[in-house]
């Protein structure tokens, strides 16, 4: 008896991948509130329709188990070549260590270089242990200093 190997595909996500994407984000954010239900579905559709934004996922056994978002942004420097920002990189815990995240990140890199981007940037949490993963993909920590300004909870305009 032979054992069939699963089909593994890295592809752009579609609106039909909403539930799998939401499960991945829950694992990534560890309790940070996410938009869900109809509101979440609408936000996901807006993300997928945004010019220059692509969400890639690795599918195995008809489930998206790893994903990342690539934003290709217009620019004036470097001869007008775009730059890219990577966000929300996550692989389900049960699937980590199998090279799935690497395959998604390789796809994002190839897409960025195909768009003639001159650089790809990403930030990673200090306590997530992902720095070594990104370094193994060629990302360097010493070239720029990343800083973040957050607005949590969201700004609400005063009444009246």
According to CATH, what is the number of the domain 8-136? 3.40.630.30
Smallest CA-to-CA distance from 105 within 79, 138, 150 is with 138
Structural domain spans, the chain: 8-136
Task: Measure the CA–CA gap between 123 and 21, rounded to whole angstroms.
Answer: 20
Mean pLDDT of the chain: 90
Q: Residue 54's beta-bridge partner residues?
A: 70
DSSP per-residue letters across 84-150: EEEEEEEE-GGGTTSSHHHHHHHHHHHHHHHTT-S-EEE---TTSS-HHHHHHTT--SSSS------
Burial class (CB in 10 A: 0-12, 13-18, 19+), 121: middle
For the entire predicted model, the pTM comes to 0.88
Say if residue 2's pLDDT is above 80: no
pLDDT at 104: 98
Q: What is the mean pLDDT of residues 50-64?
A: 97
């Amino acid at each position: 008896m032979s054992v069939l190997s699963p089909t593994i595909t890295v592809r752009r996500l579609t609106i039909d991948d909403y539930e799998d994407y939401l499960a991945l984000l829950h694992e990534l954010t560890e309790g940070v509130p996410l938009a869900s239900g109809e509101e979440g579905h609408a936000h996901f559709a807006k993300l997928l329709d945004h010019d220059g934004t692509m969400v890639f996922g690795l599918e195995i056994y008809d489930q998206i188990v790893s994903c990342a978002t690539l934003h290709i942004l217009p620019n004036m420097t470097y001869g007008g070549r775009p730059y890219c920002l990577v966000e929300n990189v996550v692989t389900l815990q049960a699937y980590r260590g199998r090279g799935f995240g690497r395959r998604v990140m390789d796809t994002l890199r190839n897409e960025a270089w195909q768009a003639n981007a001159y650089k790809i940037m990403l930030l990673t949490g200090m306590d997530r242990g992902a720095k070594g993963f990104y370094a193994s993909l060629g990302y360097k920590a010493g070239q720029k200093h990343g800083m973040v300004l957050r607005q949590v909870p969201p700004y609400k305009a005063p009444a009246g």
